[in-house]
Amino acid sequence: MAYGDRNYRDRDQPPREYHKATCSDCGNECEVPFKPTQGKPVYCRDCFKKHAPPRDNNRRRY
Ligand SMILES: [Zn+2]
Protein backbone atom coordinates (compact mmCIF):
# COMPACT_ATOMS: atom_id res chain seq x y z
CA MET A 1 0.00 0.00 0.00
CA ALA A 2 1.87 3.02 -1.22
CA TYR A 3 -1.09 5.22 -0.81
CA GLY A 4 -0.11 7.66 1.91
CA ASP A 5 3.52 7.62 0.98
CA ARG A 6 3.59 11.02 -0.57
CA ASN A 7 2.20 12.83 2.39
CA TYR A 8 5.17 11.81 4.38
CA ARG A 9 7.51 13.97 2.39
CA ASP A 10 5.22 16.92 2.42
CA ARG A 11 6.56 18.28 5.64
CA ASP A 12 8.59 21.08 4.14
CA GLN A 13 5.87 23.60 4.46
CA PRO A 14 6.83 27.18 5.04
CA PRO A 15 6.24 28.52 8.52
CA ARG A 16 2.95 30.19 9.03
CA GLU A 17 2.87 33.89 8.66
CA TYR A 18 1.28 35.75 11.48
CA HIS A 19 -0.44 39.04 11.12
CA LYS A 20 -0.95 41.57 13.82
CA ALA A 21 -4.52 42.34 14.55
CA THR A 22 -6.66 43.82 17.23
CA CYS A 23 -9.14 41.55 18.87
CA SER A 24 -12.67 42.63 18.15
CA ASP A 25 -13.81 41.45 21.51
CA CYS A 26 -11.35 42.41 24.19
CA GLY A 27 -9.37 44.91 22.13
CA ASN A 28 -6.04 43.28 22.83
CA GLU A 29 -3.39 43.11 20.22
CA CYS A 30 -2.98 39.61 18.90
CA GLU A 31 -1.46 37.69 16.06
CA VAL A 32 -3.47 35.58 13.74
CA PRO A 33 -2.28 32.96 11.25
CA PHE A 34 -4.33 34.51 8.49
CA LYS A 35 -4.66 37.89 6.96
CA PRO A 36 -7.27 39.86 8.83
CA THR A 37 -10.13 40.85 6.60
CA GLN A 38 -11.43 44.32 6.93
CA GLY A 39 -14.95 44.42 8.20
CA LYS A 40 -14.68 40.98 9.72
CA PRO A 41 -14.11 40.50 13.41
CA VAL A 42 -10.78 39.11 14.51
CA TYR A 43 -10.45 37.39 17.82
CA CYS A 44 -7.49 36.60 19.96
CA ARG A 45 -7.06 33.04 21.08
CA ASP A 46 -9.12 33.37 24.20
CA CYS A 47 -11.98 35.15 22.54
CA PHE A 48 -11.88 32.82 19.60
CA LYS A 49 -12.61 29.99 21.96
CA LYS A 50 -15.45 31.93 23.43
CA HIS A 51 -16.96 32.54 20.04
CA ALA A 52 -16.40 29.12 18.60
CA PRO A 53 -19.58 27.15 18.22
CA PRO A 54 -20.02 24.32 20.71
CA ARG A 55 -19.15 20.94 19.36
CA ASP A 56 -22.40 19.24 19.94
CA ASN A 57 -22.60 17.56 16.59
CA ASN A 58 -20.21 14.87 17.66
CA ARG A 59 -22.81 13.23 19.73
CA ARG A 60 -24.78 12.13 16.77
CA ARG A 61 -25.77 8.49 16.71
CA TYR A 62 -25.88 6.25 13.74
ZN1 LIG B 1 -9.79 38.95 22.70
What's the 40 CA to ligand 1 centre distance in angstroms?
14
What's the 19 CA to ligand 1 centre distance in angstroms?
15
Q: What is the residue extent of each domain of the chain?
A: 14-52
Determine the pLDDT at residue 54.
Answer: 80
H helix and E strand count, the chain: 2, 2
Walking along the chain (62 residues) 10 residues at a time, the average pLDDT comes out as 59 82 94 88 90 76 68
- CB of 3 closer than 8 Å to CB of 24: no
Determine the pLDDT at residue 28.
Answer: 96
Determine the pLDDT at residue 3.
Answer: 61
Q: How far apart (Å, rounded) are the C-alpha atoms in residues 9 and 19?
A: 28
